[in-house]
Chain A
Amino acid sequence: EPEVTQTPSHQVTQMGQEVILRCVPISNHLYFYWYRQILGQKVEFLVSFYNNEISEKSEIFDDQFSVERPDGSNFTLKIRSTKLEDSAMYFCASMMDRSSNQPQHFGDGTRLSIL
């Protein structure tokens, strides 16, 4: 069964450094998302992306964050200057189309640890 893959599984970075999290969505999916889950808290929406542009973003997704689909398969989340509070699991998700019953399919996440 097709799945969303994320790399790396764990990233350790010094505060203030840039980090890029990578995702390969399911191949025929058109809608892409990033979510994060701070330890012990809810899964929170960050950003949605369609047709090479951001369609919606949350308050968390400030100027330090950016997303890109550099080629036909990868979808990346960049954090420009990491803060301690960026430590979390980051999940990528993809969805085939916007039909009401279409689920988002999630990868297994990247655990980001900021030191």
Chain B
Amino acid sequence: EDQVTQSPEALRLQEGESSSLNCSYTVSGLRGLFWYRQDPGKGPEFLFTLYSAGEEKEKERLKATLTKKESFLHITAPKPEDSATYLCAARLNNDYKLSFGAGTTVTVRA
């Protein structure tokens, strides 16, 4: 069965303390791996698309990478405004729906 699993469930960081979030996927025919940010009471906000192994994308303090089995979201020197739930989602070969992981809730303390 196709699955998207994120770890850890929650991450508490001190401001400036870099860390990484993991998204592992067991899907056949990956057609794109997407990272979203979700703030409380809001919809997922698009961050990155990764399509092929070895690809990297960056935006401010965030950097996403992709291998054949997993993706990482690296947060460098986080600030309190980076506190959110980060979701990864896989798009499969013949589908255009997204299969989401459960998310990692990141809290950054000043």
A residues contacting B by CB (< 8 A) are 4, 6, 31, 33, 35, 41-45, 48, 55-56, 58, 91, 93, 95, 98, 100-109
Contact = CB atoms under 8 A, between A and B. Distances in A.
The bracket for how many chain B residues form the interface is: 20 to 34
Nearest to A101: B49
A108 B96 contact: no
Contact of A101 (B51, B97, B99): B51
Interface of B: 31-32, 34, 36, 41-46, 49, 51, 87, 89, 91, 95-103
B97 A45 contact: yes
A45 B98 contact: yes
Q: Which 8 A-B pairs have the closest CB atoms?
A: A106-B43, A45-B97, A43-B100, A103-B46, A108-B43, A106-B44, A101-B49, A42-B102
Contacts of B101: 42
Contacts of A91: 43-44
A25 B91 CA distance: 20
Contact of B32 (A43, A101, A105): A101
Contacts of B41: 108-109
